[in-house]
Structure 1
């Protein structure tokens, strides 16, 4: 199955600018992208990167610097999945679950109401990202066909904020968690929860 993976090449993940400098954010974003692409391949999918600027990656890539909604709609075809690039907890089994879920449109919500992944089997379906996109996608998809929803922690966990790094260090298995550990990040226990700390001699 064709899987489109949108990727912001220039100045990615600005909300991680506290713990990571611009170059580190680029490196970490590429590590997460690598994890997503590997999981898609292991699940039998055929990934295509939809990048905002040219990048060196070992998979087919198309450059489209338009806003996310416009770029994805231009690339969307029937029997196409769209999986975001900041989902480093994905496994092949997670992607297979997306592929196997019935529905003309299958949606995987993210925390906070976004849409972290979807599968469209309906040629009339179009995306509309940002501003609670899961509810918008579910409503528009229900007007043209059946809707499947994937309830998955690994699909729901996108990495946007510094606190999200905890999830990578707990559940990550690939490049992203390795990058964080090599950069000196580790888990620390506070009075109420786990948090992330960085060694002074980190990158």
Structure 2
């Protein structure tokens, strides 16, 4: 299964600017990207990076500097179906295509395999994020398109209903945890098994439960 992994090269993980420098955010984002690509490949997927700028990885890379929604929909147009010049729909491949965000630092082959299996059974399968976003999905319905603004999981569920697509939700802590805020780093230190967790530890981050809740501190 082809798996598109969107990756921002221009402003990587800007919401971590309070705890990481620009260079550190760039290195940490790259570590997470590599973890996701490895997990996708180990799950039997064919990972392809969709980046806002050039990135040196041992995987196919497409550069598209448009907003995320536009860039992903261009991929879906090409893979699943697009409107021809006369307005008629031209149907692409019936094989499902997946999209998994590059900041899913907890993703494992087993978690992705669950998503892929759900996407083979349903027209659209979505792994929602903790805040109602869409962290990963598989789609085979030619009319399915994305809108990543706001609580996009709810929007995508509604889109599936409007086009008559079978919909499956994949409840997964590992796929539901995207790393955007400083508090998310604790999840990586607790559950992470790859490069991103190793990078944080080498950078001096440790778990801190001194105030009664688990956060991170830097030594």
Per the normalisation by structure 1, the TM-score is: 0.96
**Partner residue, 2:56:** 56
Show structure 1 runs of 5+ residues with no match.
none
Post-superposition Cα deviations, 1:130-163, rounded to whole Å, max 9, x if no partner, equal: 2110000000012221100000000110000000
Structure 1 distance, partners of 2:145, 2:63, is 20
Structure 1 distance, partners of 2:22, 2:166, is 42
Post-superposition Cα deviations, 1:98-152, rounded to whole Å, max 9, x if no partner, equal: 0111310001100111000000010110001121100000000122211000000
**Partner residue, 1:132:** 151
State yes or no: 1:171 paired with 2:191: yes
State yes or no: 1:72 paired with 2:72: yes
- Superposition deviation, residue 11 in structure 1: 2.0
Tell me which stretches of 4 or more aligned residues in structure 1 moved more than 2 Å: none
Structure 1 distance, partners of 2:211, 2:64, is 46
Show structure 2 runs of 5+ residues with no match.
81-95
Structure 2 distance, partners of 1:175, 1:112, is 25
- Superposition deviation, residue 191 in structure 1: 3.3
2:183 match: secondary structure: helix
**Partner residue, 2:39:** 39
- Superposition deviation, residue 72 in structure 1: 0.3
Structure 2 distance, partners of 1:142, 1:103, is 12
> Where does 1:19-168 land on structure 2 (aligned, <5 Å)?
19-76=19-76, 77-78=79-80, 79-101=96-118, 102-144=121-163, 145-168=165-188
Between stretches 190-199 and 120-129, larger displacement belongs to: 190-199
Per the normalisation by structure 2, the TM-score is: 0.89
RMSD between superposed Cα atoms in Å: 0.8
Aligned length: 199
Post-superposition Cα deviations, 1:48-107, rounded to whole Å, max 9, x if no partner, equal: 000000111110000000000000011122410000000010000011000111310001
